[in-house]
Structure 1
């Protein structure tokens, strides 16, 4: 699957749709601010916490919105299932990948993550503007792909049955091992999970389609294996999911609630020992 796309030397296409997914976990208002300060011409802004998460419900720190909320997001953004859609953030970040996954979940068929962030896109010659576009509402009806979503019950079954499916933790190694946990009240990882820090996929502010990080990932997980990825809240696991699809892995799911959902009721097991197959570099 052609997930990541460099826009260098791409011809202009007035039919192409743009999504600006810039966001800052340290400053939740920053994404909308930079969008209003300048964005690719015609881009709609999708905010991680206002659009791509339902912060008023349970299910982890960035719960996935329900079908009705996502349908409303798609329709007010004026997009159709077969539109060519390019998503960008600042480059090498997880936010465009989260938006990409949300579109995969809705059944959109021609969506790509720009390898270049906003500044890089401007440097390639993409037109930009400060005016906020007005979008003609679409009547799109999503074709939900539930096979790419893992719920807590699915992961619990995977753990309880000692499934051969690979469970991959996308957080930094020290969080996976339980040595340092700045966000969640219980440190550690889901039992049986291996660790692959998603940041290994990024070099100089861009995702690498080839490189040592990819080699490490391909050594850890075989192409014919089923994989479920998670992180702390479902956000940084999205680029790991996207890269697995880019490299041809067919059976990949995202545990959207992730570790923060797993520990939310305090009744599920957690490990802090290092898995012998830990993939963190």
Structure 2
């Protein structure tokens, strides 16, 4: 079993901290909150400036390429042996996105602070507005390509050429195609099941629920996707925490798929 989440009261005091607070409706909020105060020693990674390459066209929050990610990790002064603790505002999908990217790059000692920033404050971690500067470090990354799928991989699943379960992490009404606030066509990728990621929220924490365990089993190969590769990551992380080992992400998501292949509407029985 992979230990994904850590309680703020139990984590090591000498680890590296990454602040990923963000708000999709107010994209400058996270950076402003960091500038006002953050855990001492933390660096800030912005969803759209660091954890996405917004110049790409494959989805609304495209994954940076390997060169871009390596540059981010190196300039952040990270090392494979570091204990890395990622936090956001709690019960959100931003720390989980950063966690997945670090695991994709082969980092082994990466954890999400369950409960977010306020739980660290409650646990007595020193808070400051001073920004710590770290010396860049050269990294020899061991990429885990097996956990990332592209649209052609997903197409093979929809056509029955590869057996796997697609799991859509968006709200049920968007999955059924009743409305679509971002893309020109509403619906979901053919054959997909639906599990709204917000069902995993318990206040400012993400928790393993009986409903997610009932939706997919550990003997399935599971490919999680959402609209743009943000809210799929909490589902991925909770499944990893629950002991699921054969899980992957179609990071480009529905916002990529809808421009290339047909979609389905309605519920899946």
Match of 2:32 in 1: 33
Asked if 2 retains the 8 angstrom alpha-carbon contact of 1:60 and 1:264, the reply is no
- SS state at 1:153 partner: helix
Match of 1:244 in 2: 239
1:60-91: CA deviation from partner (whole Å, max 9, x where unpaired): 00000011100000001000112100000000
Q: Are 1:218 and 2:213 counterparts?
A: yes
The count of residues paired between Structure 1 and Structure 2 equals: 268
Match of 1:93 in 2: 92
- SS state at 1:71 partner: helix
1:190-242: CA deviation from partner (whole Å, max 9, x where unpaired): 00000000000001121123xxxx21111121111100000000100001001
| Structure 1 pair 243–66 and aligned structure 2 pair: CA distance change class (3 A) | same
Asked if 1 retains the 8 angstrom alpha-carbon contact of 2:207 and 2:238, the reply is no
Which structure 2 residues correspond to residues 1-281 of structure 1 after superposition, within 5 A? 1-13=2-14, 16-161=15-160, 163-209=162-208, 214-265=209-260, 268-276=261-269
CA distance in 2: counterparts of 1:42 and 1:94, whole angstroms = 22
- SS state at 1:150 partner: coil
CA distance in 2: counterparts of 1:45 and 1:11, whole angstroms = 19
- SS state at 2:9 partner: coil
Structure 2: segments with no counterpart, 5+ residues: none
Quote the offset at 1:28 in angstroms. Answer: 1.1
CA distance in 2: counterparts of 1:241 and 1:82, whole angstroms = 23
Asked if 1 retains the 8 angstrom alpha-carbon contact of 2:225 and 2:254, the reply is yes
CA distance in 2: counterparts of 1:146 and 1:163, whole angstroms = 17
CA RMSD after TM alignment: 1.1
TM-score (norm 2): 0.97
Asked if 2 retains the 8 angstrom alpha-carbon contact of 1:32 and 1:45, the reply is yes
- SS state at 1:36 partner: helix
CA distance in 1: counterparts of 2:12 and 2:60, whole angstroms = 39
CA distance in 1: counterparts of 2:247 and 2:105, whole angstroms = 16
CA distance in 2: counterparts of 1:9 and 1:98, whole angstroms = 22
CA distance in 2: counterparts of 1:9 and 1:275, whole angstroms = 41
Quote the offset at 1:105 in angstroms. Answer: 0.6
1:32-61: CA deviation from partner (whole Å, max 9, x where unpaired): 111111111111101000000000012100
CA distance in 2: counterparts of 1:240 and 1:47, whole angstroms = 21
TM-score (norm 1): 0.93
CA distance in 2: counterparts of 1:235 and 1:72, whole angstroms = 21
